[in-house]
Amino acid sequence: MVEIRRLSECTVEQGVEAWNKGFEGYHFDMTTTPEAFEKRMAQEGLSGDLSVVAFDGEEPVGLVLNGIRESAGRKVGWNGGTGVAVSWRKKGVGKQLMEKTLEILKEQGVEVATLEAISSNEKAIELYKKLGYKIVDELHFMKLDGAVEGESNDASEKYSLRKADPEEIGQLPFYRGDFPWQIQWQSVRDGEGLIARDGEGQPSGYAFFRKLNDEEGNHSRTILYQCETAPDEEEREEITNTLLNRVFGNFAGAISRTAVNVPVSANAVTYKVLQDRGFEKNISQVFMKKELKE
């Protein structure tokens, strides 16, 4: 049997060891350092008091990182990573960590618990289902590199675009706080944003994103986190195209473009427009939720 402790009771080095062991052999390299681990905890709003680590004696053998946010008046919990050391897998450690996580979230008055899992990670998805989580959407990481020829059907003559902080966008009445944790404005505080407004000055859509530079200081990559339009707008695709044209510099540069965790169903208009512009899926995840208060 392992002992479950709060991450706040552990050293940073123990948390890093649990993480690196837990994600050994994962679908892509998840290796971290103490500095990167602490930065991720802060940037993603993860909490040491809410996160748990499994120990075999004094050896960390697994963990679950957790955070809580409020969205539309509800407390939402997020699992920011579940990992178990190779030698301890298939021994119920993941289930123990998740059960403790759900116990902590309930104590904190959380109403809905959320997580994402790689679509091909069937064992993890099956565990989450047994614990009461349900798949609510499919999430795609989408990519498009290099300059793109051709014009899009935008509505730049009808709608004006204004720069805005992601936090300001988070206050819009149609902001999607129900989207996955890492594409919410709180995780992109240092990013850029745009709000589209109609001829009467009413907000009609938004996008927020980050632009990254290479070692020489040249713009090399743009990452889109959210792009959404007001649900009652008739020209949703045109507004989306207008926003994406501005976000990605009219698709003229020889840069890398990534759209992160796009909800296939809940963000269907944006997903379609990205596909139409040539973006292709390179990673697929499932978005899962468990209601803790019916």
pLDDT tens by residue, 121-170? 999 999 999 999 999 999 999 999 988 876 677 767 899 999 999 999 99
Domain map of the chain by residue range?
3-110, 141-286
Nearest-angstrom CA–CA distance, 127 and 129: 5
pLDDT of residue 98 exceeding 80: yes
Chain segment 24-83, per-residue pLDDT in tens? 988 888 999 999 999 999 999 999 999 999 999 999 999 999 999 998 889 999 999 999
Compute the half-sphere exposure of residue 166: CA atoms within 13 Å on the CB side of its CA: 20
Q: Which residues pair with 258 in a beta bridge?
A: 143, 223
- pTM tops 0.85, yes or no: yes
Q: What is the mean pLDDT of the chain?
A: 95
3-110 shares its CATH topology with 141-286: yes
Is 196 within 8 Å of 205 (Cβ atoms)?
yes
Contacts of 92 (CB under 8 A, 6+ apart): none
Mean pLDDT of 234-242: 95
Q: Does domain 3-110 correspond to CATH entry 3.30.390.30?
A: no
Quickly name the fold that domain 141-286 has: Aminopeptidase (3.40.630)
Q: Which residue has the tokens 């290479």?
A: 214
Instruction: Check residue 230 and give its pLDDT.
Output: 97
Mean pLDDT of 200-212: 97
Instruction: Check residue 148 and give its pLDDT.
Output: 85
Instruction: Check residue 50 and give its pLDDT.
Output: 98
pLDDT of residue 20 exceeding 70: yes
Q: Kindly state the tokens that stand for 253.
A: 């540069």
pLDDT of residue 247 exceeding 80: yes
Mean pLDDT of 229-241: 95
Mean pLDDT of 257-271: 98
Nearest-angstrom CA–CA distance, 96 and 102: 10
Q: Kindly state the tokens that stand for 26.
A: 């994962």
Mean pLDDT of 201-214: 96
pLDDT of residue 294 exceeding 70: no
Q: What is the 3-state secondary structure (H, E, C) of 134-167?
A: EEEEEEEEEEEECCCCCCCCCCCCCCEEEECCHH
Contacts of 258 (CB under 8 A, 6+ apart): 141, 142, 143, 221, 222, 223, 224
Instruction: Check residue 26 and give its pLDDT.
Output: 85
Q: Kindly state the tokens that stand for 105.
A: 């979230």
Determine what percent of the chain is predicted with pLDDT higher than 70. 99
Query: How distant, in Å, are the alpha carbons of 33, 39, 136, 272 from that of 264?
Result: 33, 29, 10, 9
Is 279 within 8 Å of 243 (Cβ atoms)?
no
Burial of 7 (0-12, 13-18, 19+ CB in 10 A): buried
Residue length, the chain? 294
